[in-house]
Amino acid sequence: MAKSALVGISGGIDSAVAAAILEERGYRVEGLYIQNGFPGGNEKDAAAVAGKLHFPLHTLDIKSSFRENVVDYFVGDYLKGRTPNPCIVCNKKIKFRYLLEEARKRGFDYIATGHYARTEKREEGNSFRLLKGIDNDKDQSYFLFQLGEEELRSLIFPNGDKTKEDIKKIASDLKLPSGRESQEICFVPDDNYREFLEHYPVALPKPGNIVDEAGNVVGKHKGIHSVTIGQRKGLNIASERPYYVLEIDTQKNEVIVGREEDQFTHGLIATDCCWVSSDTVPRGVLQARTHIRYRHRGVDSEITFLGDKRVRVRFKTPQKAVAPGQAAVFYQGEYVTGGGWIERRLRDD
């Protein structure tokens, strides 16, 4: 009897090709389109893909859960002077959660998505590991570090061993509906998060001072939600050399700035850490390569476990623009070991 897979269908070519690959491998495929309640969704494109590949498409309305778990978190982090990463939270609390629930209800063997990542079952025991996709330019494993073995043992990434060009060629050969490329944040029109926040029903932080590291006032900000760590443009500070945002002090409602060389730090503290595989023992010291944001090339690091899901990460080479609220994801070679949320950059800790 053919194995079955419930595929998360977004309407774009990545998920469409993932479904096509599974059909080619002999899987019985059905699709799931998740309605999040925000404009910009591709439900018509998803239906067109399902029609072209001749599989049933189910829809699931999770508007309330999406707003509570993803959008409210996104807004709340900006109001706290942090830089959120909603895609990571959405993957854990929305996409893979509901895909798994629906797959179990409907009796599917596996779930699948169009992410560029890979999984591997270890020869010893019954543990599963998460790996980078082979296309370094499209690898999305950074966004998946919160997935654990519960998800990985039921999960297939058909696109993980292919490049984006491979996927485009398959889509073209199959004459799949092209769909649209995903925007950076699916619920924020034109990726303009500041405008999104200004129209969200919440009280925004008040304007305040921009100060240098010595405490001298060098400018004014429009609210701590309007700036991000590492930002240079839009600060409106008269100076021969550009200033960059180093920190955000929510207690004083101040934005601290410095020169480019002041951005560098030798490490960070991360909280709410989790570990992908059961064979990763969170104790002692771990040598790994740390990625502090998506597209970051990573830096060799020494990770010390502090207890209570907290770690101290010391970089072998200083890094700049370490942003609280972003994820620090740990790799050993191609394997994702785990990760956590950046609490603060290290100074002289």
What positions carry a catalytic annotation? 90, 186
Report the sign of the C-alpha dihedral through residues 31, 34, 35, 41, in that order.
negative
3-state secondary structure 251-297: CCCEEEEECHHHHCEEEEEEEEEEECCCCCCCCCEEEEEEECCCCCC
Burial (CB < 10 A; 0-12, 13-18, 19+), residue 316, is middle
Query: Shortest CA distance to 102 belongs to which of 56, 169, 133, 138?
Result: 56
CB atoms within 10 A of CB 52: 15
Question: CA geometry: angle at 115 spanning 343 and 44, to 5°?
Answer: 115
Helix residue ranges per DSSP H, the chain:
13-24, 43-53, 63-66, 72-79, 86-90, 96-106, 149-152, 164-173, 193-199
